[in-house]
Structure 1
Amino acid sequence: MNPAFTAPQLKSFLSLFQQHGMKLVQKWKDDIASSDSPVEGVMINTATWFSRVTLDIIGLAGFNYEFGAIENSKNEISEVYKNLFLDSTLYPSKLDTLFRAFWRYIPEEPLHLIRFLPTKEYKRFLQYSNVMRRLAPRIIRRNEASGNGKDIVSVLARANETLDPKARLSDVEVCDQISTLLLAGHDTTANTLMWFFYEISKSPEWQGKVRAELAAARARVVERGDEDFSIADLEGMSIMHACLKESMRLHPIVFRLLREAAQDDVLPLAFPITTKTGEQISQIPVQKGQPVTISIAGYNRLEAVWGADPHGFHPERFLEMDKAKQASVGVYANLLNFSAGLRACIGWRFSVIELQALTAMLLENFEFAFPEGAERKKIVRKPAGLMLPVVEGYHGSWMGLRVRALQ
């Protein structure tokens, strides 16, 4: 799949990100203009809109397929995705938790049959799988007919054809990649945006700093006669980058990784642990086949790595950081959000460019703050497979912010 994720290939999607960002901007401006208080702004559940815009983007960039979620939230894909993780992975029953502990001892073929279990959790993912099994072949047939597409699946299909027949992905496997890309490249970015605007709404000082940086960059764009930011413009916005990185550090959307040791090994600890008995442990032995849970959320808040107040939003830590003194972990900003090593997220650059483009577009056009009564409707994080924002009394993701259009 590497040919579909080269840097030039991903940078070519910037204009697509910006076009959909502008669609979202116009939708919000229309809603604010038609409200009772256009000057003060309106309360918008950004969770819903970020999910819709990232769905449309992955549809076109990934498959050259128009979902139309920004214009119509009732399309088939939007509907099947609605609360998918909350309904299927949050607070599993004790019996189901025990059952899942034995999955690793069940042969692969019979294990596939668990998707037909009649409980709500399994029925929701079966519903999603059935929709994708209908949609994926349709996407592939249409892309084959159109010829030299630049979307990710078209590039993947052409690369697949150049391989030895024994090494190629089967038609079923290519279809399954569409489901994987949609699942991995949609709600993850949407939720990263939600938590970024949550933090920036709590920090008007940093919001102002990013907006000032955007204004200076926009002046340079106008001066050279361009219409919008280039990749170089976005990459040069150090304050916006620092705020994005700090938000991602505090709110990793995938909060843990599950791995299995491929061989016997010993893991050295950078920071030795003192047990309750007073024993000092500086290494941990693991056996081949042993399950290993890696806490991204825990690593991202280690004071020994990130400095003072690791639980607070302090973007300056990324502006003042001495990179020479830090170990290089992960593929982006020394964070584990995109994993690391051979299993690192193949689409991390795609996500980062998308985050930069949408963040710049929205902060240029709107001011974000918490609505009145926000303290009574506290947003909390819930580990539903992804780290989702929810509030009591509302079923679904909720990131309600007051959004005011800038003149």
Structure 2
Amino acid sequence: MVRRCGFNVRLMVIPVSDPLRIPGNIIDLFADTTARLGARWQAEYGTVVKLHPQIGTSDAILVTDPAALRYIFQGDTAERFIRAPEWYAMADLLAGECIGSVEGDVHKRHRKGIRPAFGVPETRALLPVFNAIAVKLCEKWENVLALETGDSTVLNISDWISKASLDTFGEVAFDYQFGGLDGHPTELAAAMPTVLLETFGFMSVSQAAVVSLLQYIPMSFIRWVLNDSPTHALDHVRNTNTVSTRIILDLINDRRTMGAGGKKDIMSSILKAGLNDDPSSRLTDHEIVSELRFLLLAGQETSANTLTWALWELCKFPDIQTALRKEIRDAREQKGGKDFTYQELQAMPLLNAVIKETLRFAPVVQNMFRENLQDDVLPLAQPITLKSGKVVNKLPIPKGTKIYASVGGYNMNPGVWGDDAHIFNPQRWMNQDTDSTNALGMYANVMTFSAGAKGCIGWRFAVMQLQNLLSTLIERFEFSLPEKGPKIIRANCMATQPMIEGEYEKGPQLPLVVRRAA
């Protein structure tokens, strides 16, 4: 059924502008500044397409079909698909041995070891911390507005939200104050927000070629290069890892010496869980450090960037922003001005619709990478047309196929979301029931948090932070686009970050007009 040396079916092939370019379409995926490339290829070529062959590399396909993605990521069949070796190298560089860089039984041990920190009760217990930092951010903005002669100011929302998110993660992860909003960032706070940007940034043709060839290089050699290569980007990552390891190990030792007491941060939950006699869930101190570093990088970027894009979209749809503000204020009035509980945040339909639609429309991660361990056959929810003209509803793939799961493409698949999939429309979520038998992903049928046993373990944490911070900001402030504002691009730096075209060296920027809401 499957020919080991390659496909025995002729898929549609995405053309490349320069046939001699070594990384083929890979550079296009990494250099995309619209976060819409997967959706465009899907519309033009289908829900499973073959990427332009890379010189000397395995077959590669781009997948946006929901049935194929469920097969790859969820259920028993997901064990046949591993993260590509290139991903192991990158995750190991950024965080060390963590759930993002291990497979099999080791992955199960790591996930079991940190799962107690992300249960529903544990997540709800963190809401007061979320709320305190959200209020603190509002106070900082009030101080800025007080110095203005007019009723508004222009703020780099990306920078402010990133600081608030990092401060939040520091406190809830290991009871550590980063000091970002206070204007006195610690050594670690100064390094963390730029790690992904400086490490990955905009990938050049030569960098993409190296990534595409990593599969043929022994991991021991790759790790040696990553640990010793004298480049600015890698030096920055290594320095950040050294600083974070020292700080977190000191915190672990202090916690063991003084006892966790009633602390409810993630590190305390992991340490408590590790006191049992079950070796299948016990993590070493260095593994805990790696997990916290990975969660900090992944979680902070997801929450900060998602909220930034939510505010950007609400600026373009002021009627939705106004309706959302009314919903929040009405809910606040009903409870006499007190802080919202978890249940009350869940009960606001438009708030949750805006969050779900932002996660769908502006996923922080555009692509996820997998490789199959055996010859296999992918089921298809949406039949595809081969180059021969034949229509098929299943696709045989040979062992070792590189699979690029397009999160952005699936999240805009008209077969899943309707003909308006390319439009930001929170209304689609109002009174919508998801068919649980066909659901994909950890939340709301979107792939933004991945799916299955390797899906984002902190998705509840991220959603609650978004609910809390977005409701707090919209209640107090009105956001709009600057008149004749700059062109904003969606830079793919592992996480999709807003940047001003032509000012990439300044890092993430999203200037918005902010004023007190009437």
TM-score, L = length of structure 1: 0.93
What does residue 72 of structure 1 align with? Answer: 183
| Structure 2, gaps ≥5 residues long | 1-113
Structure 1 position 86, deviation (Å): 2.4
Contact 2:490 2:498 in 1 (8 A): yes
Distance 1:283 1:175 in 2: 43
Distance in structure 2 (CA, Å) of the matches to 1:131 and 1:283 = 49
**Structure 2 counterpart of 1:372:** 483
Alignment partner of 1:114 out of 214, 217, 225 = 225
Q: Is 1:185 matched with 2:303?
A: no
Please identify runs of 4+ aligned residues in structure 1 that moved more than 6 A. Answer: none
Matched residue SS, 1:155: helix
The whole-number CA distance in structure 1 between the counterparts of 2:390 and 2:374 is 27
Counterparts of residues 112-191 of structure 1 (less than 5 Å): 112-115=223-226, 116-148=228-260, 149-165=263-279, 168-191=282-305
Offset, 1:94: 2.9
1:289 deviation in Å? 3.9
Q: Is the 8 A contact 1:64 1:143 kept in 2?
A: no
* Code of the aligned partner of 1:24: L
The answer to whether the aligner puts 1:6 opposite 2:119 as a matched pair is yes
Equivalent position to 1:32, from 138, 142, 145: 145
CA distance, structure 2, for counterparts of residue 77 and residue 4 of structure 1: 23
Match of 2:498 in 1: 389
Which amino acid counterpart does residue 261 of structure 1 have in structure 2? N
Q: Given that residues 153 and 515 in structure 2 are in contact (C-alpha distance below 8 angstroms), is that contact kept between their aligned partners in structure 1?
A: yes
2:383–2:393 CA contact under 8 A, matched in 1: yes
Instruction: Report the Cα distance in structure 2 between the residues aligned to 1:390 and 1:70, rounded to whole angstroms.
Output: 21
Amino acid at match of 2:225: I
- Quote the offset at 1:76 in angstroms: 1.5
Query: What residue is the counterpart of 2:448 in the other structure?
Result: 337
The 8 Å contact of residues 434 and 445 in structure 2, kept in 1 or not, is answered as: no
Q: Which moved more, 1:261-270 or 1:319-328?
A: 319-328
Residue 264 (str. 1) matches residue 378 (str. 2):
no
Counterparts in 2 of 1:209-220, with a 5 A limit? Answer: 209-220=323-334
CA distance in 1: counterparts of 2:444 and 2:352, whole angstroms: 10
Q: Is the Cα contact below 8 Å between 1:303 and 1:309 reproduced in 2?
A: yes
Partner of 2:58: none
Task: Render the CA deviation track for 1:240-281: whole Å, top value 9, x for unaligned.
Answer: 111111111110001111122243321111111113432223
Bigger mean CA deviation after superposition, 175-184 or 260-269: 260-269
Code of the aligned partner of 1:57: T
In structure 2, the residue matched to 1:206 is: 320
Between the aligned partners of 1:36 and 1:82, the Cα distance in structure 2 is 32
Question: Does the 8 Å CA contact 2:155/2:511 hold for their aligned counterparts?
Answer: yes
Percentage of identical aligned residues: 35
One-letter code aligned to 1:17: F
Whether 1:245 and 2:356 are equivalent positions in the alignment is yes
Aligned equivalents of 2:199 and 2:115: distance in 1?
31
Q: Which residue identity does 1:330 align to in structure 2?
A: G
- The letter of the residue matching 1:90 is G
Does 106-115 or 267-276 show the bigger shift? 106-115
Larger RCO (alpha carbons 8 Å, 6+ apart): 2
Residue 34 of structure 1 and its aligned partner are, at CA, apart by 0.8
Aligned-pair CA distance for 1:368: 0.5
- Counterpart for residue 19 of structure 1: 132
User: Residue 430 of structure 2: SS of its match in structure 1?
Assistant: helix
1:185 aligned counterpart, secondary structure: helix
Deviations 1:153-175 (A, max 9, x none): 11111212214457632222121
Letter in 2 for 1:219: E
1:296-349 deviations in Å (ceiling 9; x for gaps): 000000111111221111111111535349821112111011111111100000
What per-residue deviation string (whole Å, max 9, x for no partner) do you get for residues 9-47 of structure 1? 00001111000000000000010111121x2x1000010
CA distance in 2, matches of 1:190, 1:230: 21
Match of 1:103 in 2: 214
Which ranges of structure 1 fall in alignment gaps of 5 or more residues? none
Normalised TM-score (structure 2): 0.74
